[in-house]
């Protein structure tokens, strides 16, 4: 049986084991640049035994940020990112950066720029209209991804993960629910996938073959009329045929319309209402239950859908979603997944992997209360263990 703790190849890169810390937005970059707290966050994960840590959401353009306190990839960010990469490497882990464009998920008010979508729509959470991308926008944003990826390569990152999920921009284009365009980017799956495939190709062409390239893709949007199997499986086949990626990380849900589908477990509605400005808080009180229904937690909750993709493609796959136990990791290997990714379990216990490897733990302590979701506004952490906010310092030079 494949040993999850043995080293493994991810494209051109060797990871010390098969466990990847998934992107969990760290919430410690108020000036959109790397801070000591961001470095500390990833140092802890690296020292805790994961094979690779993923620096969460790095926008490729200013209007593609989820909100203003989010790094966007520009030359000024490179020195800090290089410091971050070196700190992770010093603790034996590899480092990946998640790049993307938030599209309709972007907070337009905070960014001071309209959010972009596949089509024009109204976002009740930001109380603003989302503008439809023109073909000029699409061409520019494809180039922005390539440019952002090049900056991460310059900073010494081992891998790049393209965010093609959760109804961020590329995923909104993929979704029949959020894309009713009538041009070459709407209609058939082939057309809806065109934008994402152009991004992947452009990034690979830009970074060459020495940096690993993965994509986070949705199995199911979790919203009526959204992307779901078998289309998501067909999309995985397209990406495999394109040959530009080293692995796919499988996820689901919609940050736009159904975030709890991503997570399962308790819906932290009260915490969430507290961080909203008054008008949006009122709207959330009215529609919050619809926007944030709770789904029962189950270990490895995307496994069944992920197995369908496993049967359809040969390329390496990363299983994600509710992985908390060592036997789940081992079963994932036995079922043909090359890697697993873990988010909340390592947010709570960054040293869980080292302890599992040493035979000191067989499962994590995360209880899926999901209150960490809301902690992104005050420094992402397990609020059960660390109730106090994290105050981020000045950016590192």
- Contact between 321 and ligand FMN by CB under 6 A: the answer reads yes
- Contact between 57 and ligand FMN by CB under 6 A: the answer reads yes
Binding window for ligand FMN (CB under 6 A); candidates: 78-86, 195-203, 307-315, 372-380 = 372-380
Choose, by CB under 6 A, the member of 8, 28, 33, 56 that binds ligand FMN: 56
DSSP-assigned beta bridge partners for residue 325: 363
Alpha-carbon distance of 254 to 66, in angstroms, equals 14
- Contact between 107 and ligand FMN by CB under 6 A: the answer reads no
- Contact between 343 and ligand FMN by CB under 6 A: the answer reads yes
- The verdict on whether 168 is a catalytic residue reads yes
Choose, by CB under 6 A, the member of 153, 216, 269, 348 that binds ligand FMN: 216
DSSP-assigned beta bridge partners for residue 98: 161
* Ranges of H-type helices in the chain: 36-47, 78-90, 108-111, 135-154, 169-174, 189-192, 194-207, 231-242, 260-263, 269-275, 278-291, 303-312, 326-334, 344-348, 352-357, 371-374
- Contact between 174 and ligand FMN by CB under 6 A: the answer reads no
Choose, by CB under 6 A, the member of 151, 342, 356, 382 that binds ligand FMN: 342
Choose, by CB under 6 A, the member of 53, 98, 107, 130 that binds ligand FMN: 98
**What 3-state DSSP class applies to 17?**
coil
DSSP-derived secondary structure letter, 76: G
Choose, by CB under 6 A, the member of 263, 272, 284, 291 that binds ligand FMN: 263
- Contact between 22 and ligand FMN by CB under 6 A: the answer reads yes
Question: Which one, 261 or 284, has the nearer CB to ligand FMN?
Answer: 261
Which residue carries 């302590």 as its tokens? 365
- Contact between 101 and ligand FMN by CB under 6 A: the answer reads no
Tell me how far, at minimum, the Cβ of 343 lies from ligand FMN, in Å. 3
Query: Minimal CA–CA distance to 61: which of 117, 30, 102?
Result: 102
Choose, by CB under 6 A, the member of 376, 383, 392, 396 that binds ligand FMN: 376
Alpha-carbon distance of 239 to 200, in angstroms, equals 8
- The number of beta carbons lying within 10 Å of the beta carbon of residue 294 is 15
Contact 276, 206 (CB under 8 A): no
Rg, Å, the chain Cα set: 19
Choose, by CB under 6 A, the member of 148, 226, 322, 395 that binds ligand FMN: 322
List the catalytic residue out of 168, 185, 261, 301: 168
Residue 213 contacts by C-beta under 8 Å, 6 or more apart in sequence? 11, 159, 160, 162, 200, 203, 204, 207, 244, 245, 246
Binding window for ligand FMN (CB under 6 A); candidates: 21-29, 43-51, 145-153, 266-274 = 21-29
Residues classed as catalytic: 168
Residues binding ligand FMN (CB under 6 A): 22-25, 56-57, 98, 163, 216, 251, 262-263, 320-323, 342-345, 372-373, 376, 380
């Amino acid at each position: 049986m494949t040993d999850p703790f043995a080293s493994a190849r991810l494209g051109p890169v060797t990871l010390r084991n098969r466990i990847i810390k998934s992107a969990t937005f760290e919430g410690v970059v108020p000036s959109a640049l790397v801070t000591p707290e961001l470095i500390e966050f990833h140092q802890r994960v690296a020292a805790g035994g994961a094979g690779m840590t993923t620096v969460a959401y790095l926008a490729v353009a200013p209007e593609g940020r989820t909100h203003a306190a989010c790094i966007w990839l520009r030359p000024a960010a490179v020195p800090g990112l290089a410091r971050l990469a070196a700190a992770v490497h010093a603790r034996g882990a590899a480092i990946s950066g998640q790049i993307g464009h938030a599209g309709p998920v972007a907070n337009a008010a905070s960014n001071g720029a309209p959010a972009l979508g596949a089509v024009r729509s109204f976002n009740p959470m930001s109380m603003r209209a989302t503008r439809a991308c023109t073909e000029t926008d699409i061409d520019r944003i494809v180039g922005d991804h390539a440019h952002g990826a090049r900056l991460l390569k310059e900073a010494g990152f081992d891998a790049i993960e393209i965010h093609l999920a959760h109804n961020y921009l590329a995923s909104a284009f993929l979704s029949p629910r959020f894309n009713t365009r009538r041009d070459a980017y709407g209609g058939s799956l082939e057309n809806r996938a065109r934008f994402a495939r152009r991004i992947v190709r452009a990034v690979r062409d830009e970074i060459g073959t020495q940096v690993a390239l993965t994509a986070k893709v949705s199995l199911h949007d979790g919203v009526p009329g959204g992307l779901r199997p078998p289309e998501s499986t067909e999309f995985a086949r397209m990406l495999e045929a394109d040959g530009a990626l080293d692995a796919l990380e499988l996820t689901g849900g919609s940050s736009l319309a159904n975030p709890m589908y991503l997570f399962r477990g308790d819906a932290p509605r009260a915490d969430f209402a507290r961080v909203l400005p008054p008008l949006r808080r009122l709207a959330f009180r009215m529609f919050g239950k619809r926007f944030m229904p709770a789904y029962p937690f189950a270990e490895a909750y995307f496994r069944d859908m992920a197995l369908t993709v496993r049967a359809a493609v040969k390329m390496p796959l990363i299983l994600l979603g509710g992985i908390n136990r060592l036997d789940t990791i081992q079963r994932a290997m036995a079922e043909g997944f090359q890697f697993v990714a873990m988010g909340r379990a390592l947010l709570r216990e960054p040293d869980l992997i080292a302890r599992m490897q040493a035979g000191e733990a067989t499962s994590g302590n995360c209880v899926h209360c999901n209150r960490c979701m809301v902690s992104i506004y005050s420094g992402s952490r397990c609020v059960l263990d660390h109730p106090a906010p994290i105050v981020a310092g000045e950016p590192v030079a």
